[in-house]
Structure 1
Amino acid sequence: MKDHVRSLAEDEYGHLALVAALSTVDDTTLLRKSIGGPLQSMMGDALRHKYARRVLLHLLAPFNNRYLPAEYHDWVRPAPVSESEARGGEDGEAGDEGDEDGAGGASSGRGVSRKDPDLRRREVLGSGPGSLSESVVAAVEADAGALIRDFHGADCLVEVARGGEGATLAEVCSEGVERAQDMIVQMAAAARDHGDDDAGGEEHVLLNYVANRALRRLLILGRTDETVRRFAQKLWDGALKGRCKEWFGSHADKVLAAVLSCGDVAVEKAATEELQPLVAKQGGAGGLQEWAVSHGLAKASKKK
Protein backbone atom coordinates (compact mmCIF):
# COMPACT_ATOMS: atom_id res chain seq x y z
CA MET A 1 0.00 0.00 0.00
CA LYS A 2 2.87 2.36 0.82
CA ASP A 3 3.73 2.97 -2.84
CA HIS A 4 0.12 3.73 -3.71
CA VAL A 5 -0.89 6.09 -0.90
CA ARG A 6 -0.86 9.23 -3.03
CA SER A 7 -2.97 7.71 -5.80
CA LEU A 8 -5.38 6.23 -3.26
CA ALA A 9 -5.61 9.43 -1.22
CA GLU A 10 -6.46 11.52 -4.26
CA ASP A 11 -9.06 9.09 -5.59
CA GLU A 12 -12.79 9.60 -5.03
CA TYR A 13 -13.16 6.16 -3.46
CA GLY A 14 -9.56 5.08 -2.96
CA HIS A 15 -9.13 7.47 -0.04
CA LEU A 16 -11.76 5.45 1.83
CA ALA A 17 -9.39 2.47 1.90
CA LEU A 18 -6.88 4.61 3.79
CA VAL A 19 -9.57 5.91 6.15
CA ALA A 20 -10.69 2.32 6.78
CA ALA A 21 -7.15 1.25 7.61
CA LEU A 22 -6.74 4.17 10.01
CA SER A 23 -10.04 3.20 11.64
CA THR A 24 -9.41 -0.52 12.09
CA VAL A 25 -5.73 -1.51 12.05
CA ASP A 26 -4.32 -1.76 15.56
CA ASP A 27 -0.65 -1.93 14.52
CA THR A 28 0.03 1.80 14.61
CA THR A 29 3.72 1.33 13.84
CA LEU A 30 2.67 -0.22 10.55
CA LEU A 31 0.18 2.58 9.93
CA ARG A 32 2.81 5.25 10.52
CA LYS A 33 5.19 3.61 8.06
CA SER A 34 2.75 2.55 5.34
CA ILE A 35 0.35 5.51 5.41
CA GLY A 36 1.77 8.23 7.65
CA GLY A 37 5.13 8.44 5.88
CA PRO A 38 3.70 8.83 2.36
CA LEU A 39 1.16 11.36 3.63
CA GLN A 40 3.99 13.46 5.04
CA SER A 41 5.67 13.57 1.64
CA MET A 42 2.49 14.96 0.03
CA MET A 43 1.29 17.07 2.97
CA GLY A 44 1.23 20.42 1.19
CA ASP A 45 -0.99 19.06 -1.57
CA ALA A 46 -3.10 16.86 0.70
CA LEU A 47 -4.30 19.70 2.91
CA ARG A 48 -6.17 21.29 0.01
CA HIS A 49 -7.12 18.22 -2.00
CA LYS A 50 -10.83 17.38 -2.03
CA TYR A 51 -10.28 13.72 -1.10
CA ALA A 52 -6.75 13.46 0.35
CA ARG A 53 -7.60 15.96 3.08
CA ARG A 54 -10.27 13.56 4.34
CA VAL A 55 -7.57 11.09 5.34
CA LEU A 56 -5.84 13.71 7.48
CA LEU A 57 -9.12 15.08 8.82
CA HIS A 58 -10.15 11.58 9.87
CA LEU A 59 -7.18 11.52 12.23
CA LEU A 60 -8.06 14.96 13.57
CA ALA A 61 -11.86 14.66 13.67
CA PRO A 62 -13.01 11.09 12.91
CA PHE A 63 -16.43 10.39 11.44
CA ASN A 64 -17.31 14.06 11.21
CA ASN A 65 -20.15 14.40 8.71
CA ARG A 66 -18.77 17.70 7.49
CA TYR A 67 -15.61 16.01 6.26
CA LEU A 68 -16.61 12.39 5.64
CA PRO A 69 -20.15 12.03 4.23
CA ALA A 70 -22.38 9.92 6.47
CA GLU A 71 -23.06 7.39 3.71
CA TYR A 72 -19.38 6.38 3.82
CA HIS A 73 -19.19 5.78 7.55
CA ASP A 74 -20.30 2.16 7.39
CA TRP A 75 -17.79 1.51 4.62
CA VAL A 76 -14.84 2.35 6.81
CA ARG A 77 -15.94 1.19 10.26
CA PRO A 78 -15.02 -2.28 11.56
CA ALA A 79 -17.70 -4.86 10.70
CA PRO A 80 -19.91 -5.82 13.64
CA VAL A 81 -19.10 -9.18 15.19
CA SER A 82 -21.92 -11.63 15.86
CA GLU A 83 -22.46 -13.13 19.29
CA SER A 84 -21.29 -16.54 18.09
CA GLU A 85 -18.10 -15.07 16.62
CA ALA A 86 -17.44 -13.16 19.81
CA ARG A 87 -17.45 -16.40 21.82
CA GLY A 88 -15.58 -18.41 19.18
CA GLY A 89 -18.37 -20.12 17.24
CA GLU A 90 -21.77 -21.68 17.97
CA ASP A 91 -20.37 -24.86 19.44
CA GLY A 92 -17.40 -23.23 21.14
CA GLU A 93 -14.91 -25.18 18.97
CA ALA A 94 -13.96 -22.50 16.46
CA GLY A 95 -11.89 -20.30 18.74
CA ASP A 96 -8.20 -19.65 18.59
CA GLU A 97 -7.33 -23.24 19.50
CA GLY A 98 -10.06 -24.89 17.42
CA ASP A 99 -9.03 -23.34 14.11
CA GLU A 100 -5.27 -23.70 14.10
CA ASP A 101 -4.97 -24.16 10.33
CA GLY A 102 -7.22 -21.19 9.52
CA ALA A 103 -9.61 -23.37 7.52
CA GLY A 104 -12.32 -23.86 10.10
CA GLY A 105 -15.06 -21.53 11.40
CA ALA A 106 -14.90 -17.75 11.58
CA SER A 107 -12.13 -16.30 13.68
CA SER A 108 -13.25 -14.42 16.76
CA GLY A 109 -11.05 -11.52 15.66
CA ARG A 110 -12.76 -10.80 12.34
CA GLY A 111 -13.69 -7.16 12.00
CA VAL A 112 -12.53 -6.33 15.50
CA SER A 113 -10.35 -3.38 16.46
CA ARG A 114 -9.28 -3.82 20.04
CA LYS A 115 -7.34 -0.59 20.45
CA ASP A 116 -9.10 2.51 21.74
CA PRO A 117 -9.80 4.75 18.70
CA ASP A 118 -8.42 7.88 20.39
CA LEU A 119 -5.27 6.04 21.42
CA ARG A 120 -4.84 4.79 17.85
CA ARG A 121 -5.11 8.34 16.52
CA ARG A 122 -2.55 9.65 19.01
CA GLU A 123 -0.10 6.89 18.16
CA VAL A 124 -0.48 7.39 14.41
CA LEU A 125 -0.05 11.16 14.72
CA GLY A 126 2.94 10.68 17.00
CA SER A 127 4.91 13.46 18.63
CA GLY A 128 8.24 15.16 18.22
CA PRO A 129 10.43 15.81 15.18
CA GLY A 130 9.56 13.71 12.15
CA SER A 131 6.08 12.80 13.40
CA LEU A 132 2.93 13.10 11.34
CA SER A 133 1.54 15.60 13.84
CA GLU A 134 4.55 17.88 13.40
CA SER A 135 4.27 17.60 9.62
CA VAL A 136 0.60 18.59 9.64
CA VAL A 137 1.24 21.58 11.90
CA ALA A 138 4.32 22.70 9.97
CA ALA A 139 2.44 22.57 6.67
CA VAL A 140 -0.44 24.58 8.15
CA GLU A 141 1.97 27.18 9.54
CA ALA A 142 3.78 27.49 6.23
CA ASP A 143 0.62 28.01 4.20
CA ALA A 144 -1.87 29.38 6.73
CA GLY A 145 -2.79 32.42 4.67
CA ALA A 146 -3.76 30.36 1.64
CA LEU A 147 -5.38 27.55 3.63
CA ILE A 148 -7.76 29.78 5.57
CA ARG A 149 -9.02 31.22 2.28
CA ASP A 150 -9.34 27.84 0.56
CA PHE A 151 -12.66 25.97 0.67
CA HIS A 152 -10.99 22.62 1.45
CA GLY A 153 -7.88 23.83 3.21
CA ALA A 154 -9.82 25.90 5.75
CA ASP A 155 -11.20 22.71 7.30
CA CYS A 156 -7.70 21.42 7.98
CA LEU A 157 -6.63 24.72 9.50
CA VAL A 158 -9.71 24.79 11.75
CA GLU A 159 -9.03 21.29 13.08
CA VAL A 160 -5.34 21.99 13.70
CA ALA A 161 -6.13 25.24 15.53
CA ARG A 162 -8.77 23.35 17.46
CA GLY A 163 -6.24 20.74 18.51
CA GLY A 164 -8.30 17.95 16.97
CA GLU A 165 -11.42 16.24 18.24
CA GLY A 166 -11.02 15.54 21.93
CA ALA A 167 -7.77 17.55 21.91
CA THR A 168 -5.96 14.58 20.34
CA LEU A 169 -3.58 16.77 18.34
CA ALA A 170 -3.14 19.19 21.23
CA GLU A 171 -2.00 16.32 23.44
CA VAL A 172 0.77 15.21 21.09
CA CYS A 173 1.74 18.59 19.61
CA SER A 174 0.57 21.30 22.00
CA GLU A 175 3.19 23.86 20.97
CA GLY A 176 2.32 23.35 17.32
CA VAL A 177 -1.36 23.97 17.97
CA GLU A 178 -0.44 27.15 19.85
CA ARG A 179 1.66 28.32 16.91
CA ALA A 180 -1.17 27.67 14.47
CA GLN A 181 -3.53 29.69 16.65
CA ASP A 182 -1.02 32.53 16.85
CA MET A 183 -0.74 32.58 13.06
CA ILE A 184 -4.50 33.06 12.75
CA VAL A 185 -4.51 35.84 15.34
CA GLN A 186 -1.67 37.56 13.49
CA MET A 187 -3.63 37.48 10.23
CA ALA A 188 -6.79 38.76 11.92
CA ALA A 189 -4.86 41.56 13.61
CA ALA A 190 -3.54 42.96 10.32
CA ALA A 191 -4.75 46.39 9.25
CA ARG A 192 -8.01 46.33 7.36
CA ASP A 193 -6.42 47.63 4.17
CA HIS A 194 -3.57 45.13 4.38
CA GLY A 195 -3.73 42.88 1.35
CA ASP A 196 -6.45 44.93 -0.35
CA ASP A 197 -7.80 42.99 -3.34
CA ASP A 198 -7.67 46.09 -5.51
CA ALA A 199 -3.96 46.31 -4.79
CA GLY A 200 -3.48 42.77 -5.99
CA GLY A 201 -3.08 41.27 -2.52
CA GLU A 202 -5.11 38.82 -0.45
CA GLU A 203 -8.45 39.85 0.99
CA HIS A 204 -8.34 40.31 4.78
CA VAL A 205 -9.28 37.12 6.63
CA LEU A 206 -12.13 38.83 8.48
CA LEU A 207 -13.66 39.87 5.17
CA ASN A 208 -12.90 36.84 3.03
CA TYR A 209 -15.94 34.63 2.39
CA VAL A 210 -14.23 31.34 3.25
CA ALA A 211 -11.94 32.63 6.00
CA ASN A 212 -14.52 34.44 8.12
CA ARG A 213 -16.81 31.42 8.04
CA ALA A 214 -13.94 29.19 9.10
CA LEU A 215 -13.20 31.54 12.01
CA ARG A 216 -16.85 31.60 12.99
CA ARG A 217 -17.02 27.81 13.01
CA LEU A 218 -13.82 27.57 15.04
CA LEU A 219 -15.03 30.06 17.65
CA ILE A 220 -18.38 28.31 18.08
CA LEU A 221 -16.52 25.09 18.91
CA GLY A 222 -15.38 26.88 22.05
CA ARG A 223 -18.75 26.12 23.62
CA THR A 224 -17.47 22.63 24.34
CA ASP A 225 -13.74 22.82 23.62
CA GLU A 226 -11.24 24.30 26.08
CA THR A 227 -8.49 24.58 23.47
CA VAL A 228 -10.75 26.76 21.33
CA ARG A 229 -11.72 28.90 24.31
CA ARG A 230 -8.05 29.73 24.77
CA PHE A 231 -7.89 30.64 21.09
CA ALA A 232 -10.95 32.87 21.46
CA GLN A 233 -9.22 34.80 24.23
CA LYS A 234 -6.12 35.22 22.05
CA LEU A 235 -8.16 36.38 19.08
CA TRP A 236 -10.10 38.88 21.15
CA ASP A 237 -7.10 40.31 22.98
CA GLY A 238 -4.79 40.28 19.98
CA ALA A 239 -7.04 41.25 17.08
CA LEU A 240 -10.59 42.30 17.93
CA LYS A 241 -10.59 44.14 21.25
CA GLY A 242 -11.10 47.85 20.67
CA ARG A 243 -11.63 47.32 16.93
CA CYS A 244 -15.25 46.17 16.78
CA LYS A 245 -16.35 49.58 15.50
CA GLU A 246 -13.84 49.29 12.66
CA TRP A 247 -15.21 45.94 11.53
CA PHE A 248 -18.88 46.31 12.42
CA GLY A 249 -21.25 46.29 9.46
CA SER A 250 -18.91 44.27 7.22
CA HIS A 251 -18.55 40.56 6.50
CA ALA A 252 -16.51 40.44 9.71
CA ASP A 253 -19.83 40.56 11.59
CA LYS A 254 -19.92 36.77 11.35
CA VAL A 255 -16.75 36.56 13.41
CA LEU A 256 -17.80 39.26 15.87
CA ALA A 257 -21.12 37.50 16.45
CA ALA A 258 -19.34 34.18 17.01
CA VAL A 259 -17.23 35.75 19.76
CA LEU A 260 -20.48 36.27 21.68
CA SER A 261 -20.82 32.50 21.86
CA CYS A 262 -17.20 31.35 22.14
CA GLY A 263 -17.58 29.74 25.56
CA ASP A 264 -15.17 32.07 27.37
CA VAL A 265 -17.33 34.08 29.76
CA ALA A 266 -14.89 36.98 30.09
CA VAL A 267 -14.48 37.33 26.32
CA GLU A 268 -18.22 37.09 25.72
CA LYS A 269 -18.83 39.82 28.30
CA ALA A 270 -16.18 42.13 26.85
CA ALA A 271 -17.48 41.61 23.32
CA THR A 272 -21.04 42.30 24.47
CA GLU A 273 -19.99 45.59 26.04
CA GLU A 274 -18.24 46.68 22.86
CA LEU A 275 -20.87 45.50 20.39
CA GLN A 276 -24.01 46.51 22.28
CA PRO A 277 -23.72 50.26 21.55
CA LEU A 278 -22.95 49.58 17.89
CA VAL A 279 -26.02 47.39 17.47
CA ALA A 280 -28.18 49.89 19.36
CA LYS A 281 -26.99 52.72 17.13
CA GLN A 282 -27.82 50.64 14.07
CA GLY A 283 -31.38 50.21 15.37
CA GLY A 284 -33.74 47.32 14.74
CA ALA A 285 -35.83 45.15 17.04
CA GLY A 286 -34.25 42.51 19.21
CA GLY A 287 -30.99 44.25 19.94
CA LEU A 288 -27.74 42.33 20.24
CA GLN A 289 -29.39 38.93 20.42
CA GLU A 290 -31.33 39.42 17.21
CA TRP A 291 -28.21 40.77 15.53
CA ALA A 292 -26.27 37.64 16.52
CA VAL A 293 -29.09 35.42 15.27
CA SER A 294 -29.04 37.21 11.93
CA HIS A 295 -25.39 36.24 11.56
CA GLY A 296 -25.90 32.52 12.00
CA LEU A 297 -25.87 32.09 15.77
CA ALA A 298 -29.52 31.24 16.35
CA LYS A 299 -28.80 28.17 18.45
CA ALA A 300 -26.22 29.92 20.59
CA SER A 301 -28.52 32.89 21.15
CA LYS A 302 -31.39 30.70 22.22
CA LYS A 303 -29.22 29.01 24.81
CA LYS A 304 -28.23 32.30 26.39
Structure 2
Amino acid sequence: MSTASTFIAAAGGAIRKETVAVTGATGLVGTRLVSKLTAQGHTVRVLTRNPGAAAGKLPYPRVEVYGPERWEEAVKGSTAVINLAGEPISTRWTPAVKQEIKQSRIAVTRQVVEAINSAPEDQRPRVLISTSAVGYYGASESQTFSEASGSGRDYLAEVCKDWEAEAQRSKAERNVVLRTGIVLAKEGGALGKMMPVFNIFAGGPLGSGRQWCSWIHRDDLVNLYIEAMQSESFSGVYNATAPNPVRMSELCSSLGSVLGRPSWLPVPDFALQALLGEGASIVLEGQRVLPERALEQGFKYRFNNVNAAVENIIGA
Protein backbone atom coordinates (compact mmCIF):
# COMPACT_ATOMS: atom_id res chain seq x y z
CA MET A 1 0.00 0.00 0.00
CA SER A 2 1.33 3.41 -0.99
CA THR A 3 2.50 5.69 1.78
CA ALA A 4 0.89 8.73 0.11
CA SER A 5 -2.55 7.79 1.37
CA THR A 6 -3.58 9.39 4.66
CA PHE A 7 -6.85 9.55 6.51
CA ILE A 8 -8.83 12.55 7.61
CA ALA A 9 -11.56 12.52 10.22
CA ALA A 10 -15.06 13.10 8.93
CA ALA A 11 -18.61 12.59 10.08
CA GLY A 12 -19.46 8.94 9.77
CA GLY A 13 -15.89 7.68 9.79
CA ALA A 14 -12.48 8.08 8.23
CA ILE A 15 -12.15 9.17 4.60
CA ARG A 16 -9.03 8.31 2.70
CA LYS A 17 -7.26 11.39 1.41
CA GLU A 18 -5.73 10.55 -1.95
CA THR A 19 -2.93 11.89 -4.08
CA VAL A 20 -4.24 11.44 -7.62
CA ALA A 21 -2.23 11.77 -10.83
CA VAL A 22 -4.50 12.77 -13.73
CA THR A 23 -3.90 12.96 -17.49
CA GLY A 24 -6.35 14.83 -19.70
CA ALA A 25 -7.15 17.09 -16.76
CA THR A 26 -8.02 20.14 -18.90
CA GLY A 27 -10.66 18.35 -20.99
CA LEU A 28 -14.45 18.26 -20.66
CA VAL A 29 -14.41 15.53 -18.01
CA GLY A 30 -11.01 16.27 -16.49
CA THR A 31 -11.79 19.84 -15.42
CA ARG A 32 -14.89 18.73 -13.51
CA LEU A 33 -13.05 15.75 -12.02
CA VAL A 34 -10.16 17.87 -10.75
CA SER A 35 -12.59 20.42 -9.29
CA LYS A 36 -14.45 17.70 -7.36
CA LEU A 37 -11.33 15.86 -6.19
CA THR A 38 -9.79 19.03 -4.77
CA ALA A 39 -13.10 20.05 -3.17
CA GLN A 40 -13.06 16.69 -1.36
CA GLY A 41 -9.59 17.45 0.01
CA HIS A 42 -7.54 15.28 -2.35
CA THR A 43 -4.28 16.43 -3.93
CA VAL A 44 -4.23 16.29 -7.75
CA ARG A 45 -1.03 15.93 -9.75
CA VAL A 46 -1.82 17.06 -13.29
CA LEU A 47 0.22 15.27 -15.95
CA THR A 48 0.24 17.52 -19.00
CA ARG A 49 2.22 18.42 -22.11
CA ASN A 50 1.45 22.13 -21.56
CA PRO A 51 2.00 23.06 -17.89
CA GLY A 52 1.34 26.77 -18.38
CA ALA A 53 -2.05 26.26 -20.00
CA ALA A 54 -3.04 23.60 -17.47
CA ALA A 55 -2.22 25.82 -14.50
CA GLY A 56 -4.43 28.56 -15.95
CA LYS A 57 -7.39 26.24 -16.53
CA LEU A 58 -7.24 24.54 -13.11
CA PRO A 59 -7.11 27.33 -10.48
CA TYR A 60 -7.88 25.05 -7.55
CA PRO A 61 -6.08 24.41 -4.27
CA ARG A 62 -3.99 21.23 -3.97
CA VAL A 63 -3.26 21.09 -7.72
CA GLU A 64 0.32 20.36 -8.76
CA VAL A 65 1.26 20.55 -12.45
CA TYR A 66 3.90 18.30 -14.03
CA GLY A 67 5.34 18.45 -17.56
CA PRO A 68 6.17 15.22 -19.45
CA GLU A 69 9.74 15.04 -18.16
CA ARG A 70 8.40 14.86 -14.58
CA TRP A 71 5.53 12.40 -15.03
CA GLU A 72 7.47 9.55 -13.48
CA GLU A 73 8.19 11.71 -10.44
CA ALA A 74 4.50 12.62 -10.15
CA VAL A 75 3.23 9.06 -10.46
CA LYS A 76 5.64 7.75 -7.85
CA GLY A 77 3.99 8.23 -4.47
CA SER A 78 0.52 8.88 -5.90
CA THR A 79 -2.21 6.61 -4.57
CA ALA A 80 -4.16 6.56 -7.84
CA VAL A 81 -3.76 7.43 -11.50
CA ILE A 82 -6.70 8.46 -13.69
CA ASN A 83 -5.88 8.44 -17.40
CA LEU A 84 -8.24 10.61 -19.49
CA ALA A 85 -5.91 11.75 -22.27
CA GLY A 86 -6.62 11.52 -25.99
CA GLU A 87 -7.11 13.70 -29.07
CA PRO A 88 -10.76 14.62 -29.82
CA ILE A 89 -12.43 12.31 -32.34
CA SER A 90 -15.27 14.62 -33.48
CA THR A 91 -13.31 16.07 -36.37
CA ARG A 92 -12.63 15.24 -40.01
CA TRP A 93 -10.65 12.00 -40.15
CA THR A 94 -7.71 12.36 -42.48
CA PRO A 95 -5.11 9.56 -42.39
CA ALA A 96 -2.92 11.81 -40.23
CA VAL A 97 -5.78 12.59 -37.82
CA LYS A 98 -6.65 8.90 -37.50
CA GLN A 99 -3.05 8.13 -36.65
CA GLU A 100 -3.00 10.92 -34.04
CA ILE A 101 -6.30 9.76 -32.48
CA LYS A 102 -4.79 6.33 -31.95
CA GLN A 103 -1.26 7.26 -31.00
CA SER A 104 -2.26 10.04 -28.59
CA ARG A 105 -4.17 7.50 -26.54
CA ILE A 106 -1.67 4.69 -26.72
CA ALA A 107 1.45 6.82 -26.21
CA VAL A 108 0.13 8.62 -23.12
CA THR A 109 -1.18 5.38 -21.62
CA ARG A 110 2.15 3.69 -22.26
CA GLN A 111 4.05 6.53 -20.56
CA VAL A 112 1.71 6.38 -17.56
CA VAL A 113 1.96 2.59 -17.28
CA GLU A 114 5.76 2.69 -17.51
CA ALA A 115 5.83 5.28 -14.72
CA ILE A 116 3.60 3.07 -12.55
CA ASN A 117 5.64 -0.05 -13.22
CA SER A 118 8.97 1.65 -12.55
CA ALA A 119 7.88 3.04 -9.17
CA PRO A 120 9.19 1.21 -6.08
CA GLU A 121 6.50 -1.14 -4.79
CA ASP A 122 5.91 0.87 -1.62
CA GLN A 123 5.41 4.05 -3.72
CA ARG A 124 3.43 2.52 -6.58
CA PRO A 125 -0.14 3.79 -7.15
CA ARG A 126 -2.77 1.46 -5.77
CA VAL A 127 -5.03 1.76 -8.82
CA LEU A 128 -4.95 2.82 -12.45
CA ILE A 129 -8.28 3.93 -13.92
CA SER A 130 -7.96 4.27 -17.67
CA THR A 131 -10.49 5.56 -20.16
CA SER A 132 -11.75 3.68 -23.17
CA ALA A 133 -14.98 4.08 -25.16
CA VAL A 134 -18.13 2.21 -26.09
CA GLY A 135 -16.76 2.28 -29.64
CA TYR A 136 -14.98 -0.89 -28.47
CA TYR A 137 -18.12 -2.85 -29.39
CA GLY A 138 -18.54 -1.54 -32.93
CA ALA A 139 -21.87 -0.20 -34.22
CA SER A 140 -25.27 -1.92 -34.22
CA GLU A 141 -28.91 -0.82 -34.34
CA SER A 142 -30.23 -4.11 -32.97
CA GLN A 143 -27.67 -5.63 -30.60
CA THR A 144 -27.30 -4.84 -26.88
CA PHE A 145 -23.79 -4.82 -25.43
CA SER A 146 -22.55 -5.52 -21.91
CA GLU A 147 -19.01 -5.73 -20.59
CA ALA A 148 -19.01 -9.43 -21.55
CA SER A 149 -19.61 -8.64 -25.24
CA GLY A 150 -16.84 -9.04 -27.77
CA SER A 151 -15.15 -6.21 -29.64
CA GLY A 152 -16.06 -4.81 -33.02
CA ARG A 153 -13.85 -4.75 -36.08
CA ASP A 154 -13.99 -1.15 -37.24
CA TYR A 155 -11.39 1.58 -36.76
CA LEU A 156 -12.64 2.84 -33.38
CA ALA A 157 -12.97 -0.69 -32.04
CA GLU A 158 -9.35 -1.37 -32.97
CA VAL A 159 -8.26 1.87 -31.29
CA CYS A 160 -10.09 0.92 -28.10
CA LYS A 161 -8.66 -2.61 -28.05
CA ASP A 162 -5.09 -1.37 -28.38
CA TRP A 163 -5.73 1.41 -25.85
CA GLU A 164 -7.07 -1.04 -23.26
CA ALA A 165 -4.28 -3.53 -23.89
CA GLU A 166 -1.72 -0.85 -23.05
CA ALA A 167 -3.49 -0.05 -19.76
CA GLN A 168 -3.66 -3.71 -18.79
CA ARG A 169 0.15 -3.88 -18.60
CA SER A 170 -0.01 -1.85 -15.38
CA LYS A 171 1.38 -3.43 -12.20
CA ALA A 172 -0.94 -1.43 -9.95
CA GLU A 173 -2.89 -3.50 -7.41
CA ARG A 174 -6.07 -2.76 -9.33
CA ASN A 175 -6.59 -1.87 -12.99
CA VAL A 176 -9.96 -0.40 -14.01
CA VAL A 177 -11.08 0.51 -17.54
CA LEU A 178 -14.15 2.70 -18.08
CA ARG A 179 -15.69 2.37 -21.55
CA THR A 180 -17.27 5.79 -21.78
CA GLY A 181 -20.40 6.66 -23.74
CA ILE A 182 -21.56 10.04 -25.06
CA VAL A 183 -20.80 12.53 -22.28
CA LEU A 184 -23.53 15.13 -21.81
CA ALA A 185 -22.39 18.59 -20.70
CA LYS A 186 -23.13 22.17 -21.71
CA GLU A 187 -19.51 23.15 -22.32
CA GLY A 188 -18.75 20.59 -25.02
CA GLY A 189 -19.35 17.11 -26.34
CA ALA A 190 -22.57 16.27 -28.19
CA LEU A 191 -24.85 18.76 -26.41
CA GLY A 192 -22.30 21.56 -26.61
CA LYS A 193 -22.18 21.19 -30.40
CA MET A 194 -25.94 20.74 -30.86
CA MET A 195 -27.20 23.61 -28.67
CA PRO A 196 -26.22 26.51 -30.97
CA VAL A 197 -28.03 24.84 -33.89
CA PHE A 198 -31.20 24.31 -31.84
CA ASN A 199 -31.04 27.87 -30.54
CA ILE A 200 -31.45 29.21 -34.10
CA PHE A 201 -34.44 26.89 -34.70
CA ALA A 202 -32.48 24.60 -37.03
CA GLY A 203 -32.11 21.55 -34.79
CA GLY A 204 -33.09 17.99 -35.46
CA PRO A 205 -31.85 14.41 -35.50
CA LEU A 206 -28.46 13.62 -37.00
CA GLY A 207 -28.79 11.16 -39.87
CA SER A 208 -31.68 8.71 -39.55
CA GLY A 209 -32.18 9.41 -35.84
CA ARG A 210 -32.44 5.65 -35.34
CA GLN A 211 -28.86 5.19 -34.13
CA TRP A 212 -28.41 4.40 -30.44
CA CYS A 213 -26.92 6.94 -28.04
CA SER A 214 -25.41 5.37 -24.96
CA TRP A 215 -25.07 8.56 -22.95
CA ILE A 216 -23.94 9.60 -19.47
CA HIS A 217 -24.25 12.88 -17.56
CA ARG A 218 -20.80 14.30 -16.90
CA ASP A 219 -21.40 14.46 -13.15
CA ASP A 220 -22.30 10.76 -13.03
CA LEU A 221 -19.14 9.95 -14.99
CA VAL A 222 -17.00 11.98 -12.57
CA ASN A 223 -18.63 10.20 -9.63
CA LEU A 224 -17.98 6.84 -11.27
CA TYR A 225 -14.27 7.65 -11.64
CA ILE A 226 -14.08 8.63 -7.97
CA GLU A 227 -15.98 5.56 -6.79
CA ALA A 228 -13.75 3.30 -8.91
CA MET A 229 -10.75 4.98 -7.30
CA GLN A 230 -11.97 4.63 -3.73
CA SER A 231 -13.77 1.28 -3.77
CA GLU A 232 -11.44 -1.71 -3.59
CA SER A 233 -14.14 -3.86 -5.20
CA PHE A 234 -13.80 -2.10 -8.56
CA SER A 235 -11.52 -4.00 -10.94
CA GLY A 236 -11.59 -4.76 -14.65
CA VAL A 237 -13.83 -3.26 -17.35
CA TYR A 238 -16.98 -1.18 -16.77
CA ASN A 239 -19.35 0.49 -19.21
CA ALA A 240 -19.53 4.15 -18.19
CA THR A 241 -23.00 4.84 -19.56
CA ALA A 242 -26.41 5.59 -18.07
CA PRO A 243 -28.74 2.60 -17.58
CA ASN A 244 -31.23 3.83 -20.23
CA PRO A 245 -29.71 4.45 -23.67
CA VAL A 246 -31.90 6.25 -26.22
CA ARG A 247 -32.14 6.72 -29.96
CA MET A 248 -30.61 9.89 -31.41
CA SER A 249 -34.09 11.20 -32.22
CA GLU A 250 -35.06 11.00 -28.52
CA LEU A 251 -31.92 12.85 -27.40
CA CYS A 252 -32.65 15.61 -29.94
CA SER A 253 -36.30 15.76 -28.92
CA SER A 254 -35.27 16.17 -25.27
CA LEU A 255 -32.85 18.95 -26.14
CA GLY A 256 -35.45 20.77 -28.23
CA SER A 257 -38.07 20.44 -25.51
CA VAL A 258 -35.80 21.83 -22.78
CA LEU A 259 -34.64 24.72 -24.98
CA GLY A 260 -38.18 25.46 -26.16
CA ARG A 261 -37.12 24.84 -29.75
CA PRO A 262 -38.43 22.41 -32.38
CA SER A 263 -36.50 19.28 -33.31
CA TRP A 264 -37.72 19.14 -36.88
CA LEU A 265 -34.82 19.58 -39.29
CA PRO A 266 -32.79 16.38 -39.72
CA VAL A 267 -29.16 16.69 -40.71
CA PRO A 268 -28.76 14.24 -43.60
CA ASP A 269 -26.02 11.63 -43.74
CA PHE A 270 -24.38 13.20 -46.78
CA ALA A 271 -24.01 16.59 -45.07
CA LEU A 272 -22.21 15.07 -42.09
CA GLN A 273 -20.05 12.94 -44.35
CA ALA A 274 -19.09 16.02 -46.35
CA LEU A 275 -18.14 17.81 -43.13
CA LEU A 276 -16.45 14.99 -41.21
CA GLY A 277 -15.62 12.38 -43.84
CA GLU A 278 -15.14 8.97 -42.23
CA GLY A 279 -15.41 10.68 -38.84
CA ALA A 280 -19.17 11.07 -39.43
CA SER A 281 -19.50 7.47 -38.30
CA ILE A 282 -19.27 8.55 -34.66
CA VAL A 283 -22.65 10.35 -34.94
CA LEU A 284 -24.31 8.33 -37.72
CA GLU A 285 -23.66 4.99 -36.05
CA GLY A 286 -24.13 3.94 -32.44
CA GLN A 287 -24.53 1.05 -30.06
CA ARG A 288 -26.91 0.15 -27.24
CA VAL A 289 -24.64 -0.34 -24.23
CA LEU A 290 -25.72 -1.23 -20.69
CA PRO A 291 -23.64 -0.61 -17.52
CA GLU A 292 -24.24 -4.03 -16.00
CA ARG A 293 -21.13 -4.16 -13.84
CA ALA A 294 -21.51 -0.64 -12.39
CA LEU A 295 -25.09 -1.47 -11.41
CA GLU A 296 -23.98 -4.78 -9.89
CA GLN A 297 -21.41 -2.85 -7.82
CA GLY A 298 -24.24 -0.67 -6.50
CA PHE A 299 -23.20 2.54 -8.23
CA LYS A 300 -25.97 5.12 -7.81
CA TYR A 301 -26.73 7.23 -10.89
CA ARG A 302 -28.17 10.69 -10.33
CA PHE A 303 -29.44 10.77 -13.89
CA ASN A 304 -31.05 7.62 -15.31
CA ASN A 305 -33.38 9.50 -17.64
CA VAL A 306 -32.11 11.57 -20.58
CA ASN A 307 -34.81 14.25 -20.13
CA ALA A 308 -33.79 14.85 -16.52
CA ALA A 309 -30.13 14.92 -17.53
CA VAL A 310 -30.67 17.48 -20.28
CA GLU A 311 -32.87 19.64 -18.03
CA ASN A 312 -30.18 19.65 -15.36
CA ILE A 313 -27.43 20.53 -17.82
CA ILE A 314 -29.29 23.31 -19.65
CA GLY A 315 -30.45 24.81 -16.35
CA ALA A 316 -26.98 24.65 -14.76
Confirm or deny a common fold (TM above 0.5): no
Q: Which has the higher contact order (CA 8 A, sep 6+)?
A: 2
Bigger radius of gyration: 1
TM-score with structure 1 setting the length: 0.28
Structure with the higher strand share, 1 or 2: 2
TM-score with structure 2 setting the length: 0.27
